[in-house]
């Protein structure tokens, strides 16, 4: 308790507060810009943090990480170009809301849901990190395989015209994930001698192409139409009733995000997609999904920000990074001479609590900034399309080029833009493809690793209770609705609603 | 924030603010000054790692004090495709005037061996070694394999399951060479994405043995969950003095994660010498040394051209042999 | 007689699946010393079969729906501009190409106020330059022209 108070007390240091403020503002900006994510920013600024004290450096990096995950939602909502990959699920409903002239509503909800998710995960980090971290050891390849199957099974439910089309795009995503060098045999697949393909298809350019570029192409076909008058509702913030409606989504997203974030192999992007799916599954307003459901913003946003605290769990408690960003934060910790691990909680509690305190502060800070600026940001959707959409395209180019400085990624983005445009015209949803691409690699690798571990005997899965449980849940999720319907048909009087 | 940001370049804006859109081009050079002075412009450090990767961070740590030592700015060029192939191709496309240096790892040598259209080993000229991180054989604490002699006996009886990175990787070559030097039954490689996954699966009991850098499993070693069995270096390590080297048990195998700077052949000798002196000086500075120390890498990592080139040649031979035997080299 | 749009989609997906399946036979052999259980080709083949099955389901279950609206000339021109960005960038470099693109596409979409067009384009490119080149020191492609002029 003493350590906790001492950690909190570091917030009174003006230098630390300044670092948190700078980190939060920077985080929002880079999060909103496609092409430069929180992890890139922290990596580029890492050498600068050597000169300052460990607490100040960590407060700075932690604030960037927290705020960037929120910042990504701004561009996702306004122009359908997720500024950070983790905001891709937010774009699905958020952009529909902005199109209807309710950008302020979506932005306000994103800020609140993000902050609640973020704070929830930090609180969880404070109380349960060492305990939760043990769970990572129980997750080997068989468990990750089951988890990937679970995630992909949910694609059937995401937007678009129907289950078959969704599963098709998901399968296409999984197929794309097989491009490049196979981990277990070293054989190059579908690279056709093109070097850029031998490391596989990066999902960031695919994401930007499918969402932002295809949106621009779609807009270009509608130039002749009477321009839609976006009402000044754009700047209206959510009301208490809106929050009440989304409370369940936020709660669900926070728990899912914190858990998925804590698993080392999965990050905020998966957390947000799973959060979106589960929000939809448990929503009382399912019909709104795909047409601008506010819950569809709240769920994934709380999930991806909860994943931030979640991914700090294995990073701090095991010294094993829980995401790309924490991998760099880990490097930063080590450079500062802080050795993460279970002992950190006994040996340097003040430092830990100071980090937690600064993450809490960053979450509160972007909540205030986000709500305060939402009205201003929302006006971006009032910029004339002749200026806005060319700008979105240019930002998409740099967004695809930035992370790996690769022209190949720009080409992939353009191709994905064309494919996304065709998808739109024929009622396919892009989200399952992203899901397939993100989880497909893990599905195949985990399956092959499991088989090597089980000496090629598939019955090995029978000895893994967690994997079995997850597979059973998947089956129940797929067959459950069908069984329920059959039950209802058998006794129609009682179940009529 | 703190001090001067060493990353931002202090380019003279020749073209003025009005032509900011051409700002990328505002690097000095419009006049094509034919100075004999070296370095006369920004030095590009080409790496195969993405921003934030281990090798990228090594480059950026070196760059903090290099401008002072060489009197010019540095910038990192990340060419991630093809396990080093793109980085090598990019370097080959640049003039060989010493303004382009490559930060390479053993991965580049493996990639060269398997792809003859790239610059080959003989095209490389070593400049300086940056980091050397010895590999250590580790098992789960409490495992019957934790005793070095028991480990050797068990290895001769059955093929153990090793965790390492992908097939045909540096780890794979090291595991293969280790098992061969010890006369072990052929080991099974369970490939993973990175060190973190390997540690988790070692503690989780999914693999028998892991090949890791000491820092990758430090938390677990301290917590008594993972036990180092052999060090694959010539001498015992300062931070785990009780762990024997493999050579002490008669297994002549060494393995380390090594990174260092090279230029392509054709770069004038005097410039190579100047780069060598400048980089070694920069990396002997306080920033790089504290980075080495805190990431658990040896303080004598930084070495000059001679030692680095000898090491490269040794690893090139070892790799060729391993890849040929594994059937990965055609 | 025109095909139902969904049937055309199903046929296109089936074609992708068949081509990808065929391409697995072009993969390098896994060296015998390393072959263990599932190789490189089995998993992609399985996915191709799943995709083919789903395409068959879509083909059989296709219901008539309104075909998507025709793409107007502006749409084609926008696509041409987007594709044309690449060769332009190879020649003049990324930032100048962006400037050209912003002005050209804004004009194409009907913006005739040159002050607004040029002002916003220059402002955005300058902003990108400040953030990416100055602040984060990333190198953007200079193109053929940039190479000629400045190195």
The Cα A350–Cα A13 span in angstroms is 14
Please list the residues that pair with B130 across neighbouring strands.
none
Say yes or no: C91 and C133 in one domain. Answer: yes
Q: Give a yes or no: residue A488 inside a domain.
A: no
Nearest by CB to residue A187, choosing from C27, C54, C75, is C27
Q: Give a yes or no: residue A347 inside a domain.
A: yes
Domain that holds residue A81: 2-228+237-481
**Total number of domains in chain C:** 2
* This prediction's pTM: 0.80
Nearest by CB to residue A47, choosing from B50, B61, B82, is B61
CB atoms A405 and C138 under 8 Å: yes
Mean per-residue pLDDT of chain B = 81
Confidence label for B28 from pLDDT (cuts 50, 70 and 90): very low
CA distances for C36 relative to A457, B114, B134, angstroms: 12, 22, 29
A148/C contact by beta carbon, under 8 A: no
Say yes or no: C47 and C81 in one domain. Answer: no
Say yes or no: C34 and C77 in one domain. Answer: no
Please list the residues that pair with B258 across neighbouring strands.
B132
Q: Give a yes or no: residue A185 inside a domain.
A: yes
pLDDT tens digit sequence for A125-161: 888 777 777 777 888 889 888 888 888 887 766 655 5
Domain that holds residue C53: 5-61
Which of C127, C106, C133 lies closest to C118, judged by CA? C106
Of A167-181, A370-384, B182-196, C35-49, which range is least confident?
A370-384
Token pair 């989504």: residue: A249
Say yes or no: C34 and C101 in one domain. Answer: no
Predicted confidence (pLDDT) at residue B125 exceeds the cutoff of 70? yes
The Cα B94–Cα B76 span in angstroms is 14
Q: Is B302 helix (H, G, I), strand (E, B) or coil?
A: coil
Contact (Cβ atoms closer than 8 angstroms) between residue A341 and residue A70? no
Which of A201, A297, A220 lies closest to B80, judged by CA? A201
Residue B329 C-alpha, separation from nearest chain A C-alpha, in angstroms: 12
Task: Output the pLDDT for position B26.
Answer: 40
Going along chain B from its start, the domains and CATH numbers come out as: 40-133+257-326 (3.40.190.150), 136-254 (3.40.190.10)
Token pair 């899912």: residue: A256
Residue B150 C-alpha, separation from nearest chain C C-alpha, in angstroms: 27
Q: Give a yes or no: residue A495 inside a domain.
A: no
Q: Give a yes or no: residue A486 inside a domain.
A: no
Contact (Cβ atoms closer than 8 angstroms) between residue A362 and residue A66? yes
Say yes or no: C81 and C123 in one domain. Answer: yes
Q: Give a yes or no: residue C44 inside a domain.
A: yes
pLDDT tens digit sequence for B272-302: 999 999 999 999 988 888 888 777 777 788 8
Q: Give a yes or no: residue A493 inside a domain.
A: no
The Cα A313–Cα A140 span in angstroms is 17
In the predicted model, residues of chain A with pLDDT beneath 50 are: 494-497
Say yes or no: C109 and C131 in one domain. Answer: yes
Q: Tokens for C31?
A: 């060296």
Say yes or no: C38 and C87 in one domain. Answer: no
Predicted confidence (pLDDT) at residue B25 exceeds the cutoff of 80? no
The Cα A274–Cα A155 span in angstroms is 9
Contact (Cβ atoms closer than 8 angstroms) between residue A475 and residue A171? no
Task: Output the pLDDT for position B15.
Answer: 33
Say yes or no: C53 and C77 in one domain. Answer: no
CA distances for A465 relative to A210, B97, B198, angstroms: 38, 61, 21
Q: Give a yes or no: residue C68 inside a domain.
A: no
Q: Tokens for A82?
A: 């997720």
**Total number of domains in chain A:** 1
Say yes or no: C31 and C56 in one domain. Answer: yes
Of C61, C88, C108, which closes a domain?
C61
Q: Give a yes or no: residue C121 inside a domain.
A: yes
Q: Give a yes or no: residue A50 inside a domain.
A: yes
Q: Which of residues 147-206 of B touch A (CB under 8 A)?
A: 161, 166-168, 188, 190-193, 196-197, 199-201, 203-204, 206
Contact (Cβ atoms closer than 8 angstroms) between residue A257 and residue A235? no
Say yes or no: C55 and C84 in one domain. Answer: no
Q: Give a yes or no: residue C92 inside a domain.
A: yes
User: Which residues from A are below 8 Å from C139, CB to CB?
Assistant: 405
Could you tell me which chains touch chain A, where touching means 3 or more CB pairs under 8 A? Answer: B, C
Which of B300, B136, B313, B329 lies closest to B214, judged by CA? B136
Confidence label for B23 from pLDDT (cuts 50, 70 and 90): very low
Average the pLDDT over B49-69 and give the result. 81
Q: Give a yes or no: residue A487 inside a domain.
A: no
Which of A145, A54, A51, A134 lies closest to A336, judged by CA? A54
Of C40, C61, C82, which closes a domain?
C61
CB atoms B193 and A445 under 8 Å: yes
Q: Would you tell me the crossing angle of helices A103-138 and A349-378 to the nearest 10 degrees?
A: 150
CB atoms C44 and A384 under 8 Å: no
Say yes or no: C82 and C125 in one domain. Answer: yes
Say yes or no: C112 and C142 in one domain. Answer: yes
CB atoms A185 and B223 under 8 Å: no
The Cα B125–Cα B117 span in angstroms is 18
Task: Output the pLDDT for position C34.
Answer: 67
Torsion of CA C41, C42, C47, C50, to 10 degrees: 140
């Amino acid at each position: 308790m003493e350590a906790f108070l001492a950690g909190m007390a570091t917030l009174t240091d003006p230098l630390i507060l300044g670092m948190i403020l700078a980190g939060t503002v920077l985080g929002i900006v880079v999060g909103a810009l496609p092409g430069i994510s929180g992890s890139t920013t922290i990596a580029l600024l890492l050498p600068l943090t050597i000169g300052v004290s460990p607490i100040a450096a960590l407060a700075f990096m932690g604030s960037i990480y927290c705020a960037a995950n929120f910042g990504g939602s701004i561009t996702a909502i306004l122009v359908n170009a997720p500024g950070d990959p983790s905001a891709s699920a937010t774009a699905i409903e958020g952009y529909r809301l902005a199109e209807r002239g309710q950008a302020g509503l979506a932005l306000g909800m994103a800020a609140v849901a993000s902050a609640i998710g973020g704070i929830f995960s930090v609180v969880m980090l404070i109380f349960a990190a060492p305990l939760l971290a043990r769970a990572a050891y129980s997750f080997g390849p068989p468990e990750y395989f089951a988890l990937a199957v679970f995630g992909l099974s949910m694609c059937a439910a995401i937007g678009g015209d129907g289950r078959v089309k969704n599963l098709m795009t998901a399968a296409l995503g999984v197929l794309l994930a097989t491009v490049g060098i196979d981990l277990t045999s070293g054989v190059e697949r579908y690279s056709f001698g093109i070097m850029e393909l031998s490391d596989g298809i990066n999902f960031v350019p695919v994401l930007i192409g499918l969402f932002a570029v295809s949106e621009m192409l779609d807009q270009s076909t509608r130039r002749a139409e009477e321009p839609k008058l976006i009402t000044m509702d754009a700047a209206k913030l959510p009301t208490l009733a809106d929050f009440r409606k989304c409370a369940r989504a936020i709660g669900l997203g926070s728990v899912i995000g914190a858990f998925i974030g804590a698993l080392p192999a999965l990050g905020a992007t998966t957390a947000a997609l799973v959060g979106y799916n589960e929000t939809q599954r448990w929503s009382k307003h399912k019909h709104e999904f795909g047409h601008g459901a506010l819950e569809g913003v709240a769920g994934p946003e709380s999930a991806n920000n909860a994943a931030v605290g979640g991914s700090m769990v294995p990073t701090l408690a095991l010294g094993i990074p829980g995401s790309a960003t924490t991998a760099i934060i880990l490097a930063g910790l080590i450079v500062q001479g802080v050795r993460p691990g279970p002992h950190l909680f006994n040996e340097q509690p003040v430092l830990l609590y100071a980090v937690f305190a600064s993450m809490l502060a960053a979450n509160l800070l972007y909540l205030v900034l986000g709500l305060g600026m939402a009205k201003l940001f929302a006006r971006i959707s009032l910029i004339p399309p002749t200026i806005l959409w060319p700008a979105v395209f240019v930002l998409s180019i740099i967004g695809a080029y930035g992370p790996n400085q690769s022209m190949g990624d720009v080409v992939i983005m353009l191709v994905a833009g064309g494919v996304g445009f065709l998808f739109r015209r024929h009622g396919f949803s892009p989200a399952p493809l992203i899901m397939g691409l993100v989880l497909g690699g893990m599905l195949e690798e985990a399956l092959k690793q499991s088989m090597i571990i089980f000496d090629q005997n598939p019955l090995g899965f029978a000895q893994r209770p967690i994997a079995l449980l997850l597979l059973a849940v998947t089956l129940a999720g797929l067959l459950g609705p069908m069984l329920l319907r059959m039950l209802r048909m058998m006794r129609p009087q009682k179940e009529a609603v | 924030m703190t001090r001067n940001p060493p990353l931002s370049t202090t380019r003279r804006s020749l073209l003025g603010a009005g032509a900011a859109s051409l700002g990328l081009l505002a690097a000095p050079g419009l006049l094509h000054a034919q100075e004999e002075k070296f370095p006369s412009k920004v030095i590009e450090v080409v790496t195969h790692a993405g921003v934030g990767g281990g090798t990228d961070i090594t480059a950026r740590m070196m760059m903090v004090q290099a401008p002072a030592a060489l009197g010019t700015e540095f910038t990192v060029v990340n060419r991630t495709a093809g396990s080093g192939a793109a980085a090598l191709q990019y370097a080959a496309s640049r003039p060989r005037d010493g303004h382009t240096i490559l930060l390479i790892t053993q991965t580049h040598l493996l990639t060269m061996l398997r792809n003859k259209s790239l610059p080959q080993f003989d095209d490389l000229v070593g400049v300086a070694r940056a980091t050397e991180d010895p590999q250590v054989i580790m098992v789960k604490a409490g495992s019957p394999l934790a005793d070095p002699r028991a480990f050797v006996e068990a290895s001769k009886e059955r093929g153990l399951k090793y965790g390492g990175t992908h097939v045909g990787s540096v780890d794979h070559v090291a595991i293969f060479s280790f098992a061969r030097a010890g006369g072990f039954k052929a080991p099974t490689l369970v490939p993973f994405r990175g060190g973190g996954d390997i540690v988790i699966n070692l503690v989780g009991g999914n693999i028998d043995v892991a090949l890791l850098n000491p820092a990758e499993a430090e938390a677990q070693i301290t917590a008594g969950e993972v036990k180092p069995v052999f060090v694959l270096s010539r001498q015992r390590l300062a931070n785990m003095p009780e762990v024997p080297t493999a050579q002490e048990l008669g297994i002549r195998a060494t393995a380390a994660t090594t990174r260092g700077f090279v230029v392509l052949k054709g770069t004038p000798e005097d410039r190579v010498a100047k780069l060598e002196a400048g980089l070694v000086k920069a990396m002997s500075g306080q920033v790089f040394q504290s980075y080495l120390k805190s990431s658990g890498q040896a303080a004598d990592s930084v070495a000059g051209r001679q030692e680095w080139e000898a090491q490269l040649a040794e690893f090139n031979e070892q790799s060729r042999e391993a890849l040929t035997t594994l059937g990965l080299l055609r | 007689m025109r095909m139902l749009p969904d049937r055309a989609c199903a046929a296109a997906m089936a074609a992708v699946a068949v081509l990808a399946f065929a391409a697995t036979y072009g993969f390098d052999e896994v060296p015998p010393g390393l072959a263990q259980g599932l190789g490189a080709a089995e998993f992609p083949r399985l996915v191709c079969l799943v995709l083919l099955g789903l395409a068959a389901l879509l083909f059989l279950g296709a219901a008539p729906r309104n075909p998507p609206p025709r793409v107007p000339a502006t749409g084609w021109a926008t696509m041409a501009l987007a594709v044309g960005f690449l060769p332009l960038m190879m020649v003049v470099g990324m930032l100048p190409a962006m400037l050209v693109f912003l002005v050209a596409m804004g004009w194409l979409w009907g913006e005739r106020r040159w002050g607004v067009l040029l002002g916003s384009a220059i402002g955005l490119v300058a902003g990108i330059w400040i953030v990416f080149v100055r602040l984060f020191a990333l190198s953007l492609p200079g193109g053929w022209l940039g190479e000629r002029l400045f190195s």
